[in-house]
Structure 1
Amino acid sequence: MTVHLTNRALCLLLLVLGSSVALREPEGEECLKDVVFIVDVSESITVESFEVQKDFVKNITSELYMSEFNGSVIATLAFSRNVFGAGLLPFKNITILHEGIDGLPHEREGTHTHLALQRARDIITEQGRIGVEKLVVIISDGKSKFPERTIQEANAAKEEGISIVGVGVEDCPCASNIPELERITSPGKFYLIRSLQELSRLVSTIKAEICDGK
């Protein structure tokens, strides 16, 4: 019997199989990292700011996709009271990756940063490739609901060999989050911007964190 798949069905099949494909040996010579992006969708994030965060991740992944050095696999999570997003996906189809980013919900209910870090750790532990560096990039404009639990999750991630890059927002009502974000990030990997609208200025910087300066 011959089974015919529509283009849409084929895309869904690739999405489902993405986590298992990600476990294969890396193909690129550089940019060899398993990367989890975490974007903030708490109540302080406007619709415009949410779109800016999604565009930021899409711009970075587009640049990686076009790089001859790329060997990364990517997951993107959105967090508020809950955490949303799929597991690690290789760059087999940039359209599917970007559709997943565009489909992230805008919950706007609290800043449960610890849950996002916990989910990122679970994804990397369950789906990460052996012998490949692990990186979490977290963007937030607010202090977490449970700071001690957030610090605990970040420390646990770093003890497991996961580097954490943090992007904090200075010009916002929740600027008190800056010391916390600095504390949860790895040394030398904290970036401060005045507003989320400045995120685009960090595309090359964060790409360099993934590609070791490439």
Structure 2
Amino acid sequence: MEYRLCLLFISCSAMMMSISEGALQKVCPGKPADIVFAIDESSSIWPVHFLTLRKFIANLTDSFDIGPDQTRIAAITYSDTVTHRFSLDDYKTNEDVRRAISRIDQKTGGTRTDLALKHIRHKIFSESKEGVPQIVVLITDGDSWYPEKTIHQAKLLKNRNVTIFTVAISKKIKWEEVEMVSSQPTESHIFSVDSFNDLGVTLVERLVLSTCKVQGNPVGECNINFKSDVVFVLGSASQNPGGALKAVGMIEEIIADKNTFVGDASLRFGMVPRQCSLDLGFHLNSYDNKNDIIDHLRRRKQLSTTADHINYLVTDSFEYRNGDRPEVRNLAVLIMDRESDDMAETLAAADLAKEAGIEIIVVAVGKQVNDNEISMLASQPISDYKITLSDYTEVADFKHKVYSLICP
């Protein structure tokens, strides 16, 4: 999966010396990747320029070995809404992908870049292939309608180890938004041209070579440099003292695991308190090593409602003063073994948490949970964020599934 920089530079430079448009050579042979093109089709793009844009994308795809176990390509277009053009598994050869791109028409409208990024996260990159880089090539000629929403959706994608390249086609575009949306470092993830006439071979070369360098993260494996802020919540399990003890035991298994690294440069953990200051709650900046966290978890008392716990995530747990790091993911692991006392209140609290950018992983234990409630509490896609266990003995399954979300 790794390239040595000197070999990559020499071999790719040699290939590109004789390259011509429409006859691009493969530059990442044998290296798989999942690439999504997010194509601006707003009214500010003239039809003749949209045809140029389509040709540019087709030339880009010619540079990859396309196949089920090689590079897979998907495409969406966006204006006021998002149109899903084709998925990663739809086409398995370069010729089929090129034909599919040639059939993309322009609908025109506004620029809802935020909806495009959200669609990619929910509908295309909802699952990961181990070790395969996930890449978005975002192409636009102007500012999005809702920059804050766009930046937020880009952050959620990048938090899941998705790399975002931006092709900006305008002299008037707002660079602050482009830089916030694109992956770091921006000098190798932003490609700027003044007009559609500049979408030529030189830009294709630069963009393709940059995508070659993207590395995929092993799914479900944390390393010492992987950052997430994770807060555990004992929901309805808290009403059952025996269930609470078992739930805390499962949490201890996660913290004590040899793959768990705790610290400012790695993972940080917190827990929502259960009766104000009288119980085992702690903040993200309370402890910087796993042994102190485990010692703390062994102090247990009675709990309040599930809705109160979830509200606490927003008002306290994920606050900067309590150790939240703005640049990393916010995840809550909510463990429940029965239906909440007030479903409407609980769901409302969960909606507020998700609007604040908190991803909610729901762990449903046993047969007394309300499956409908669990599904509505979990973040999207539900198939990833909803974990069901028959009882508290399934610790190994719990650890594997939670790790696959903490370190996607």
TM-score, length-normalised on structure 1? 0.76
- On the 8 A contact 1:133/1:162 being kept in 2, the answer is yes
Matched, 1:140 2:140: yes
Q: Please tell me the residue identity of whatever aligns with 1:176.
A: I
Per the alignment, residue 184 of structure 1 pairs with 181
Q: CA deviation at 1:124?
A: 3.8
Per the alignment, residue 78 of structure 1 pairs with 77
The structure where helix makes up a greater share of residues is: 1
| 1:59-114 deviation digits (Å, cap 9, x = unpaired) | 01112148xxx921111111111212121137633232122212223111000001
Per the alignment, residue 15 of structure 1 pairs with none
Q: Please tell me the residue identity of whatever aligns with 2:210.
A: E
- Over alpha carbons, which structure has the higher Rg? 2
Q: CA deviation at 1:156?
A: 0.4
Distance 1:97 1:64 in 2: 11
Per the alignment, residue 158 of structure 1 pairs with 158
* More off after superposition, 155-164 vs 121-130: 121-130
Alignment of 1:74-113 (within 5 A): 74-84=73-83, 85-89=85-89, 92-113=92-113
Distance 2:98 2:183 in 1: 27
| 1:4-39 deviation digits (Å, cap 9, x = unpaired) | xxxxxxxxxxxxxxxxxxxxxxxx864321110111
- On the 8 A contact 1:37/1:76 being kept in 2, the answer is yes
Q: Please tell me the residue identity of whatever aligns with 1:177.
A: K
Q: CA deviation at 1:135?
A: 0.6
Distance 2:123 2:206 in 1: 24
Q: CA deviation at 1:212?
A: 2.4
SS of the equivalent of 1:192 reads strand
- On the 8 A contact 1:31/1:210 being kept in 2, the answer is no
Change (3 A) 1:100 1:149: same
Count of matched residue positions in the alignment of Structure 1 and Structure 2: 181
Distance 1:93 1:133 in 2: 19
* More off after superposition, 198-207 vs 149-158: 198-207
Q: Which has the higher contact order (CA 8 A, sep 6+)?
A: 1
SS of the equivalent of 1:89 reads coil
Per the alignment, residue 7 of structure 1 pairs with none
Alignment of 1:1-214 (within 5 A): 30-65=30-65, 71-84=70-83, 85-89=85-89, 92-126=92-126, 128-171=128-171, 175-187=172-184, 188-200=188-200, 201-212=202-213
Q: CA deviation at 1:128?
A: 4.0
Distance 1:34 1:73 in 2: 5
- On the 8 A contact 1:88/1:123 being kept in 2, the answer is no
| 1:169-202 deviation digits (Å, cap 9, x = unpaired) | 233xxx2333211220011311111112211131
Distance 2:104 2:91 in 1: 19
Per the alignment, residue 20 of structure 1 pairs with none
| 1:126-169 deviation digits (Å, cap 9, x = unpaired) | 35422211110111111101111101100000001001001112
SS of the equivalent of 2:104 reads coil
Distance 1:31 1:38 in 2: 22
Change (3 A) 1:177 1:49: farther
Kindly, what percent of the aligned residue pairs are identical? 28
